[in-house]
Amino acid sequence: MSKIIDGLYYSESHEYVKVEGDFGYIGITDFAQHELGNVVYVDMPEVDDEVTAGEDFGAVESVKAASDLMSPVSGTVVEVNEALEDEPGLINKDAFENWIIKVELSDKSELDGLMDAAAYKNMIGE
């Protein structure tokens, strides 16, 4: 059973957004990290890069597969989780604590198109 946290926004491609003010922390869900298996590499954008809702901003590679990271929202990258460069497996330990990028949201109305915890739980069949 995957861990799903109330109060976050979820995308169909298994990313989450944790909103704090005008910023969003984006990562992959616990369900996604379970599906991928041991994460061995995270490809992240640079600070000041723009991300666009529905477009890829990087990738997560595991021993089983590589998966593009699709941004659930648009904005400017203000921080990347540098700990993942040395220890990508942190995502396997706790996908929600170990976000991938922090963005300054450019259009908060995009959040309306994402799922809440109950809808995401329903989508993954749990």
- Helix residue spans in the chain (DSSP H): 30-36, 83-86, 90-93, 117-123
What count of other Cβ atoms lies within 10 Å of the Cβ of residue 18?
16
Collapsed DSSP state (helix, strand, coil) of residue 104: strand
Total structural domains within the chain: 1
CATH value at residue 77: 2.40.50.100
pLDDT band of residue 1 (cuts 50, 70, 90) is confident
Residue 64 lies in a domain: yes
Residue 114 lies in a domain: no
CA distance 107 to 124: 27
Q: Tens digit of pLDDT for each residue in 22-37?
A: 999 999 999 999 999 9
CB 73 within 8 A of CB 18: no
CA distance 84 to 80: 9
Residue 89 lies in a domain: yes
Collapsed DSSP state (helix, strand, coil) of residue 72: coil
In this prediction the pTM is 0.97
Q: Tens digit of pLDDT for each residue in 36-93?
A: 999 999 999 999 999 999 999 999 999 999 999 999 999 999 999 999 999 999 999 9
What pLDDT does 83 receive?
98
Residue 125 lies in a domain: no
Residue 35 lies in a domain: yes
CA distance 85 to 82: 5
Q: Whole domain around residue 39: which residue ranges?
A: 9-107
